[in-house]
Amino acid sequence: MSKRLGTVVAVLMAAGSMAGAQTNTFSTGTTFTTPAITGFATTGAEMAGMLVSWRFAGSATVFSSAWGNLGGGFFGVSGLNGFGLRMGGASDTFTSNWELTNSSTQRLQFIQMRGAPGRTLFDCGWTGTSCVNTGGGGSEGTAASSTGWSHQQTGGTFAGTVLGAYTNSVGVGANPDVGDLFESLLITFQGDMGASATYNFRADTDSSPSGRDVPTPTIPEPSTYLLMGTGLLGLMSIRRKRKA
């Protein structure tokens, strides 16, 4: 099932105006690869197993939990330290909201979603040459993928500045990544997200075909290891000369 460009107009109308300033960044990080993408209209239920992490202000502890069935037609993470992130089990991430709640008495600093454990890829809006800051771009990026939607606030009570960081680019089969598919999305709340606050956003995802086809880090070619070794030997030689 592929996404239709006409959906972009409806999504923009539904998003309304954002409450606060927002910026997304996109970086290669660790390169991942997946043999194929079979779920372009990925739903909340299809992301089961994705790793969700978060941290509260004033604490060094990073909590983590796997995305799963919450009941009542929703999938996500809920009931842990007052943190909750969910989406409808049958809802397409291209057109539907992620719902984040902080019902604790603490301030939330960030959330991070690592897609690989749940066969999930984050697909940004693509212009043909780069990702758009927020929203849809209307073009397919990596061959054998589809159109995407960059992280964008769509509602909630949080009105501060939000920073989204896409990392770990993903290639599909023999098609190298071009910078539109990512394994991780980190969302940071500047000044922290207050207690009892909510944050709704849109961020498109795609799916790998089976549990055995989890996106994995690309293994460097033997020639890459040779270059790395040569570089290390060169550094050691320079250090010896300096000591002499």
Tens digits of per-residue pLDDT, 144-198? Answer: 788 899 999 999 999 999 999 999 999 998 888 899 999 999 999 998 999 999 9
Bigger pLDDT: 20 or 13? 20
Question: Given this model, what pLDDT does residue 209 score?
Answer: 74
pLDDT, greater one: 20 or 205:
205
pLDDT on residue 140: 85
> What pLDDT, on the 0 to 100 scale, is given for residue 80?
81
Task: Judge whether residue 52 has pLDDT over 70.
Answer: yes
Q: Are 107 and 57 in contact (CB under 8 A)?
A: yes
Whether residue 228 has pLDDT greater than 70: no
Average pLDDT, the chain: 83
Handedness of CA 40, 42, 47, 50 (dihedral sign): positive
Q: Which pLDDT value is given to residue 202?
A: 97
So what's the pLDDT on residue 145? 83
1 inside domain? no
Rounded Cα–Cα distance for residues 54 and 192 (Å): 12
Is pLDDT at 102 greater than 80 in this prediction?
Answer: yes
For 108-133, how does the pLDDT look when each residue is reduced to its tens digit (9 = 90+)?
999 999 999 999 999 999 999 999 99
Q: What are phi and psi of 232, to 5 degrees?
A: -65, -40
Residue 62 lies in a domain: yes
In a domain, 106, yes or no: yes
Whether 223 shows a pLDDT value over 70: the answer reads no
Choose from 20-24, 99-103, 116-120, 169-173 the range with maximum mean pLDDT: 99-103
Q: What is the DSSP letter of 221?
A: P
| Distance separating alpha carbons of residues 146 and 6, to the nearest angstrom | 14
Q: Are strands 205-207 and 120-123 parallel, antiparallel or unpaired?
A: antiparallel
Whole-number pLDDT of residue 203:
97
Q: Report whether pLDDT(220) > 80.
A: no
Average pLDDT of span 86-95? 96
Among 201, 120, 115, residue whose Cα is nearest residue 158: 201
Whether residue 217 has pLDDT greater than 90:
no
185 located within any domain? yes
Domain encompassing residue 124:
7-243
Both structure tokens of 240: 């010896």
Does residue 2 lie in a domain region? no
Does 64 fall in a domain?
Answer: yes
The rounded distance, in Å, linking the Cα atoms of 92 and 42 is 5
Token pair of 12 as six digits: 């923009």
User: What is residue 131's predicted lDDT score, i.e. its pLDDT?
Assistant: 96
Name the residue with tokens 């300096």: 242
Between 121 and 216, residue with greater pLDDT: 121
Which one, of 28, 4, 5, 59, lies nearest residue 169 by Cα? 28
The tally of domains found in the chain comes to: 1
Question: Does residue 81 lie within any of the structural domains?
Answer: yes
